[in-house]
Chain A
Amino acid sequence: MMTLHGVDVFLRTPSIPELPKEFGAFTLVLISNRGSRVYPPPVPEMELSDWQQCRYLSDDVVSDAQIDELVLHLTGLGWQWTKCQKLFKIDGDNAFSQPY
């Protein structure tokens, strides 16, 4: 069974964004840049692109509306997202990869 647990919000910003660590049921678990984790620290000494993958995740099953609220909240804070990808579990296993 496929269940919804979070969202990767890809933000267009040149530096590692300061984002809310919690929002509703979600926790900001990581930010990655070109597949390398840059939050939580340490930040690898790498060339950063201006595309940040920001992962908000919940242990519980969440609704589409909760995802919409989160993304709207980030937009309200002034962040420009260019892509959002919902994060699912299938039969309890993460159906998404982890960055390095």
Chain B
Amino acid sequence: MAHQVCLIRGDGVGPELVAGVEVIFKAAKVDIDWIDVEAGLKCVEAGKPIVPEETVAKIKEIGVGLKAPMTTPIGKGSVSPNVTLRKKLDLYACVRPVRSLPGIKTPFDGLDIVIFRENTEDLYTQIEYMATEHVAHSVKIISDSASEQICRAAFEYARANGRKKVVGVHKANIMKIGDGLFLKSFKKVAAEYPDIESWDNIVDNQCMQLVTKWKLYDILVMPNLYGDIVSDLAAGMMGGLGVAPGANYGKKCALFEAVHGSAPKYTGMNKVNPTALLLSATLMLDHLGEHEARVSIEGALEATLNKGIKTYDLGGDATTSGFSEAIASELK
């Protein structure tokens, strides 16, 4: 029976990337019933909310979604469609796996780390004020329940995926109350998993260690803002945002997304690398229990890269559609 999946085709280059993924999934004979739902700039231009309630309701009903990049309109009062979806669907865990891919040369051979980013609080609550005409005040919220929830997700993932180490990342040496609560929560949860090695690192030291001792790390878990920054650092170590996948998990649904932007200046140019969205889609296949399909598609991607077929961001000249078709041909 076909898996039902909500599909947001996105803005800018989003629809081109989605088309690439569709070609590859078709070649892999993955039985997906894509249900198109609206969100993003097109909704705003049509006078609708950036994420219409019908979209939220449909993703809740179906339970799984794949989202291409969307554009956040610039201007007063505009909201990010990505943050809106995370909040309205209570997608508390942002999971960003980074690993070395064949054919993509980086200084970080053997990279294989999964980053768990808390997705619902921290400075991302965006509670901000001008306290005087000269002083701005942003409220950072850290709760024990959200911190324990993301730490538990990281340890559960470690157990389920045969990973051995989980490191809690924080800045509790300076923010002794807020990050102190996150660290306390991490230690509490870690004690429930004696089979998983765990320790904690201060975020600045963690960044330094990521680029000097990356093979030491397995799973990292951290509050929202650090997760935002560290996961992009790690994406760069993997080869750039064009290849870095992302997943957002809640208790009732999951949304898979390329973490890069909609690159509006490349719209219609058939140029942008579809790998990030493709690897997000293969994470989705795992979530749907289609592990074999995930392995075969990722194998086809690696075979394509090994042949030197690459998009411009990786030093090649393949187009979005050409690269996608090359991967598809590996599956036939």
Contacts and interface: CB of A to CB of B under 8 A. Distances in A.
Report the contact-size class of chain A (Cβ under 8 Å from the partner): 20 to 34
A39 to B, nearest CB: 15
A46 B87 contact: yes
B92 interface: yes
B292 interface: no
A93 B120 CA distance: 27
A95 B149 CA distance: 33
Given A34-B121, A47-B145, A95 B129 contact: yes
B87 A47 contact: no
B264 to A, nearest CB: 24
B202 interface: no
Nearest to A83: B139
A99 B145 contact: no
A53 B90 contact: no
Given A34-B141, A35-B124, A87 B129 contact: yes
B84 interface: yes
Contact of B127 (A46, A90, A93, A97): A97
A100 B121 CA distance: 12
Contacts of A46: 87, 90, 120
Contacts of B121: 34-35
A34 to B, nearest CB: 5
B323 to A, nearest CB: 36
Given A35-B124, A53-B127, A97-B128, A90 B90 contact: no
Contacts of B90: 44-47
Contact of B129 (A45, A51, A96): A96
B129 A97 contact: yes
B79 A100 contact: yes
Nearest to B90: A46
Given A47-B92, A100-B83, A35 B130 contact: no
Contacts of B129: 8, 85, 87-88, 95-97
B122 to A, nearest CB: 9
Contact of A96 (B76, B124, B125, B128): B128
Given A2-B133, A8-B127, 11 more contacts: A2-B132, A32-B127, A35-B127, A44-B87, A44-B88, A46-B120, A47-B120, A90-B130, A90-B133, A97-B126, A99-B126
Interface of B: 53, 60, 76-77, 79, 83-84, 87-90, 92, 120-121, 124-133, 137, 141, 143, 145-146, 149, 252
Q: Which 8 interchain pairs have the tightest Cβ spacing?
A: A35-B125, A95-B130, A46-B90, A97-B128, A100-B87, A96-B129, A49-B143, A36-B87
29 contacts: A2-B130, A2-B132, A8-B127, A8-B129, A32-B127, A34-B121, A35-B124, A35-B127, A36-B87, A36-B125, A44-B87, A45-B89, A46-B90, A47-B90, A47-B145, A49-B141, A49-B146, A51-B141, A53-B127, A85-B129, A90-B130, A95-B130, A96-B130, A97-B127, A97-B128, A97-B129, A98-B77, A99-B126, A100-B87
